[in-house]
A and B are shown apart, each in its own frame.
Chain A
Amino acid sequence: MAENTRAVGGVGRKSAAAGYLRAVGAVVWKDIAAELRSRELLGSMLVFALLVILIFNFALELDLRARQTVTSGVLWVTFAFAGTLGLNRSMAIEKDRGCLDGLLLAPVDRSALYFGKVLSNLIFMIVVEAIILPLYGLLYNVNLFIPSLLVVILLGSIGYVVVGTLLSAMAVQARTRDILLPILLFPVVLPVLIAAVRATTGILQGLPLEDYQAWLNLLIAYDIIFLGVAIISFDYVVEE
């Protein structure tokens, strides 16, 4: 295959890239198809997210004044908790039914599997966020559809899922897997959450871009650093 691509030159390289994308797409499609049939992941993530908001509502007395300062915190804690649930589940089904071994046997680059899992995890997280955001807006009568806020949520979710997919691939192979993922993930992902919360607060309070630009930069920097580290180390995590 490798000689083949070299011989054909430009055309071969293009088809290799297309093959890579096809492999990524296949993993994503497999996850979405499985989810559409079983509906166990998104449902539990959503219900869990709603419960978290419900608990916050009574724990923090989310009245008008409190909401102005804690909304971003409540949102991100909700996303983070629901995200952990999704990450754990999405890797556990691969592991339990021997699906991961099957995927590893496929003649594609390991990083394609990683990107596929990242994308499908990201899609699930975004779906949950897309339902939680308007719901939160409806419950508390705030408008959360601010374009810059959506960008921050996307960047934060990318950082979260990029690290989370790598660490959940490790956590599911341990004996204590259900309790292990949050312990492994939260300290690593804390800078992403801090930056996302600060940027979200800035946007919700209507501050100018300069005031939260630094947090946005930090968010982008973390996304890139973690993506690099994860791509390099994923091979070592899944090899058997």
Chain B
Amino acid sequence: MEPVPRNLKILTGITSALFVIALYMVFFHAPREAVMGDVQRVFYFHVAAGWVGFLAFLVTFSLGIVYLITRDRKWDRIAVASVEVGVVFTFINIASGSIWARPIWNTWWTWDPRLVTATVMLLLYVAYLMLRQGIDDPDRRARFGSVYGIVAFVSVPITFLSIRIWRTIHPVVIGSGDPSGEGAFDMTQPMLQAFMFSLLTFTFIYMTLLWYRVRLGRLSEKVEERKMEMMSI
């Protein structure tokens, strides 16, 4: 068992500190939204979790291409770790959105383009994990994972753009100030600060978890190799 590298320990410390500050920012620094009340505070982590999902799948897509060119398994290890983290955060994103939607839209769920595209994206990456589970040969697993990671990525820009292309009930807070979404609002300065800080914090959480997961993947591969050695003796 190799010890946790020092840099990873430091990163974990920084991330934990950032998360505590982010919680403070969200609950105390950012003001209470006038119309929606406290439930609006979900927004900070909701968008940050969604951002991590997009980022994670972008990493998988890019590393899938890199793997197919270089055939170095280290890239595939990072790609699959990224999918696992991304799936968890996309789920947090959808669940937190649902909690917000209950009082604001008066329903847990609605078949809105944004909600549908995000769910399809989640299902695609769950399918990615199931595909990998079904294949024993590590090289083939890496190859198929890379290909499916590239195919599945088509869903990511669609999900991101869905609230900007189609008429939807989901608010667009960042960028355009289109007030047609149900529950849209303009951010004040402290809100924007809390929001930006959440994005930063979640990016750090992503990097920390990714590192741990890549390390875990490497260790479990080693265990697998040892097992093979034992069996061949």
Q: Which residues of A contact B (CB under 8 A)?
A: 163, 166-167, 170-171, 173-177, 180, 183-184, 187-188, 190-191, 225-226, 229, 233, 236-237, 239
In the assembly, what is the distance between CA of A176 and CA of B127, in Å?
12
The reply to whether B127 and A183 form a contact with Cβ atoms under 8 Å apart is yes
The 5 sampled A-B contact pairs (Cβ below 8 Å) are: A166-B151, A176-B130, A188-B124, A188-B152, A236-B68
Residues of A with C-beta under 8 A to B136: 175
In the assembly, what is the distance between CA of A188 and CA of B120, in Å?
8
- The stretch from B33-41, B141-149, B191-199 touching chain A is B141-149
Q: Contact check: which of A163, A171, A190 meets B151 at CB < 8 Å? A: A163
Q: Contact check: which of A163, A166, A184, A233 meets B131 at CB < 8 Å? A: A184
The reply to whether A170 and B148 form a contact with Cβ atoms under 8 Å apart is yes
In the assembly, what is the distance between CA of A173 and CA of B140, in Å?
9
The reply to whether B146 and A236 form a contact with Cβ atoms under 8 Å apart is yes
Which residue of chain B is the closest to A184 with respect to CB atoms?
Answer: B127
The reply to whether A177 and B147 form a contact with Cβ atoms under 8 Å apart is no
The reply to whether B144 and A170 form a contact with Cβ atoms under 8 Å apart is yes
The reply to whether B134 and A191 form a contact with Cβ atoms under 8 Å apart is no
Interface status of B158 (Cβ within 8 A of chain A): yes
Residues of A with C-beta under 8 A to B144: 170, 173-174, 237
Interface status of B14 (Cβ within 8 A of chain A): no
Q: Contact check: which of B68, B127, B134 meets A175 at CB < 8 Å? A: B134
Interface status of B154 (Cβ within 8 A of chain A): yes
Interface size classification for chain B? 20 to 34
Scan B149-179; emit 1 where CB is below 8 A from any A CB, else 0. 0111011001000000000000000000000
In the assembly, what is the distance between CA of A180 and CA of B129, in Å?
11
In the A-B complex, the 5 residue pairs with the closest CB atoms: A174-B134, A176-B134, A187-B124, A187-B123, A233-B147
B231 CB, min distance to chain A CBs, angstroms: 19
In the assembly, what is the distance between CA of A66 and CA of B143, in Å?
46
Which residue of chain A is the closest to B124 with respect to CB atoms?
Answer: A187
Q: Contact check: which of B68, B131, B154 meets A225 at CB < 8 Å? A: B154
A74 CB, min distance to chain B CBs, angstroms: 19
Which residue of chain A is the closest to B130 with respect to CB atoms?
Answer: A183
B53 CB, min distance to chain A CBs, angstroms: 15
In the assembly, what is the distance between CA of A237 and CA of B146, in Å?
10
In the assembly, what is the distance between CA of A157 and CA of B147, in Å?
22
Residues of A with C-beta under 8 A to B154: 188, 225-226, 229
A33 CB, min distance to chain B CBs, angstroms: 30
In the assembly, what is the distance between CA of A14 and CA of B133, in Å?
45
In the assembly, what is the distance between CA of A173 and CA of B151, in Å?
18
Which residue of chain A is the closest to B131 with respect to CB atoms?
Answer: A184
Residues of B with C-beta under 8 A to A237: 143-144, 147
Residues of B with C-beta under 8 A to A236: 68, 143, 146-147
The reply to whether B134 and A190 form a contact with Cβ atoms under 8 Å apart is no
Q: Knowing A166-B151, A177-B134, A233-B147 touch, does A187 contact B127 (C-beta < 8 A)? A: yes
